[in-house]
């Protein structure tokens, strides 16, 4: 008999694959930020989105190992003061006082990594800011709606511009997946009323997904005519059979009927836009920013788009992770059960959807973008100034840019970017 012991430690377990474990942990943290605590659902999403086969019990064990607990369990590990501070810190971000309990509840999970119970969040908000509850009343007019019957993801991309930030010179353009409501991408742009910019952003999305939807929808503005032409040109180039099937590549709708993207604007304004406008104008009120000074304006046009794009990406990630409420008589994902837009998009088969993406050659799309002018189309600053501003920003050290400190960063950068002015 051999004296060699193949397992001297006596530990009868498989060794962990470090890379797989890193991906596994990152996925669990993402789902935790979306307030998903159902182990079976998490196992299904990990399989679909990351290709990792795992069991419900493994998910449960790993979540416990990484401290990713549900609301009641989390609150047992925190003091009442710590819980209160989590809620108050999130409320403090809402300068415009437009966030309700649901928004604050989900933001705590998304940004602080802690799931609390809804009752706890409600109680603390009522205690510290009861007046804001009375101020948040829906005022939308009733519009006659026709029920939609979505086929699946990428059936339709709905695009529209958000003008509430035009007053500070930072408009937004967004495209949303019609069936799931998932924000595919939102951009802070120099203008959302220029046709070449709108068409270019569509091409950016087509390159990212490697395809185009069966149809795009926008309202009938002059800025969308070039988009109409490009969408039809791509259709004729890659999928001419769809034209013969009389499926429109682009459909113009009145704003009140382009609901997939229009219904998103209220949440964007309440959860992002109103606060951004207030904080921007505070810089003028505090005499930190003079919009009549060309140098002030040039630096502002470099710094604020950088900040708002980062925060817009964070908002879209948050929004996509918030569950859609169940509406049992409605076709599509919300008729099945409450699920996030991310879940509805990645697990489209769970609500009877299909993937309608029409594949394209990414190299052709890249060439079209280059022919239109490339990223210079959506840049707020010239390359030379951007390089100078970037160098000044980096010299400040590891700064996390936020709406709370942006004007302090602005003032710190002024003498570095414009030394000749003697700021």
Domain ranges in the chain are 18-68, 72-132, 152-378
**pTM for this structure?**
0.72
Residue 108 and residue 102: Cα distance in Å, rounded? 10
> Residue 167: phi, psi to the nearest 5?
-65, -20
End-to-end CA distance of the chain: 84
pLDDT at 3: 54
Rg of the chain on CA atoms, in Å: 24
The pLDDT value recorded for residue 9 is 53
Antiparallel, parallel or unpaired: β 215-218 and 156-162: parallel
pLDDT of residue 403: 93
Is residue 401 a contact partner of residue 306, using CB atoms and an 8 Å limit?
Answer: yes
Sheet containing strand 156-162, strands side by side = 183-188, 172-177, 156-162, 215-218, 250-252
pLDDT by residue for the chain (423 residues), tens only, comes to: 455 555 555 555 555 678 889 999 999 999 999 999 999 999 999 999 999 999 999 999 999 999 999 989 999 999 988 998 888 888 878 877 778 888 899 999 988 899 999 999 989 888 877 767 666 655 544 444 556 678 999 999 999 988 888 889 999 999 999 999 999 999 999 999 899 999 999 999 999 999 999 999 998 777 888 999 999 999 999 999 887 778 889 988 876 666 777 778 778 888 888 899 999 999 999 999 999 999 999 999 999 999 999 999 999 999 999 888 777 777 778 767 788 999 999 999 999 999 999 999 999 999 999 999 999 999 999 999 999 999 999 999 999 999 999 999 999 999 999 998 876
pLDDT at 153: 96
Q: How far from 423 is each of 264, 283, 397, 410, CA to CA, in Å?
A: 41, 16, 20, 12
* Location of structure tokens 């100078």: 388
pLDDT of residue 144: 47
DSSP designation for 112:
I
**Which fold, 152-378?**
Nucleotidyltransferase; domain 5 (3.30.420)
The single-letter DSSP state of residue 55 is -
pLDDT of 141: 44
């Amino acid at each position: 008999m051999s004296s060699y012991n193949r397992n001297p430690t006596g530990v009868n377990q498989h060794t962990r694959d470090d890379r797989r474990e890193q991906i596994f942990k990152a996925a669990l943290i993402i789902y935790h930020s979306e307030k998903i605590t159902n182990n079976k659902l998490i196992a299904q999403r990990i399989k679909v989105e990351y290709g990792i086969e795992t069991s419900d019990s493994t998910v449960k064990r790993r979540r416990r190992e990484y401290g990713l607990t549900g609301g009641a369990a989390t609150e047992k590990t925190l003091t009442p003061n710590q819980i209160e501070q989590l809620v108050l810190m999130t409320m403090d971000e809402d300068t415009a006082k437009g966030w309700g309990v649901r928004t604050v509840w989900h933001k705590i999970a998304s940004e602080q990594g802690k799931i609390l119970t809804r009752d706890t969040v409600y109680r603390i908000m009522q205690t510290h800011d009861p007046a804001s509850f009375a101020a948040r009343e829906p005022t939308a007019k009733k519009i006659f709606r026709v029920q939609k019957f979505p086929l699946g993801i990428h059936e339709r991309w709905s695009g529209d511009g958000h003008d509430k930030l035009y007053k500070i010179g930072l408009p937004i353009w967004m495209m949303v997946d019609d069936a799931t409501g998932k924000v595919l991408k939102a951009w802070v742009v120099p203008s959302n009323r220029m046709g070449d910019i709108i068409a270019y952003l569509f091409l950016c999305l087509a390159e990212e997904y490697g395809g185009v939807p069966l149809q795009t929808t926008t309202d009938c503005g002059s800025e969308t005519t070039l988009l109409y032409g490009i969408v039809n040109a791509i259709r004729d180039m890659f999928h001419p059979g769809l034209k013969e099937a009389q499926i429109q590549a682009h459909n113009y709708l009145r704003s009140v009927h382009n609901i997939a993207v229009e219904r998103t604007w209220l949440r964007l304004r309440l959860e992002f836009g109103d606060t951004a406008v207030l904080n921007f104008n505070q810089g003028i009120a505090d005499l930190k920013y003079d919009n009549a000074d060309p140098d002030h304006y040039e630096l502002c046009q470099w710094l604020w788009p950088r900040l708002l794009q980062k925060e817009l990406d964070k908002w879209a990630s948050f929004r996509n992770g918030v569950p859609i409420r169940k509406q049992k008589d409605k076709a599509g994902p919300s008729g099945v059960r409450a699920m996030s837009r991310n879940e509805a998009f990645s697990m489209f088969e769970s609500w009877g959807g299909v993937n309608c993406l029409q594949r394209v050659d990414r190299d052709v799309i890249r060439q079209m973008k280059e022919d239109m002018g490339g990223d210079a189309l959506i840049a707020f600053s010239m390359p030379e100034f951007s390089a100078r501003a970037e160098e000044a920003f980096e010299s400040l050290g590891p700064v996390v840019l936020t709406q709370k400190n942006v004007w302090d960063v602005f003032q710190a950068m002024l003498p570095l970017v414009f030394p000749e002015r003697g700021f």
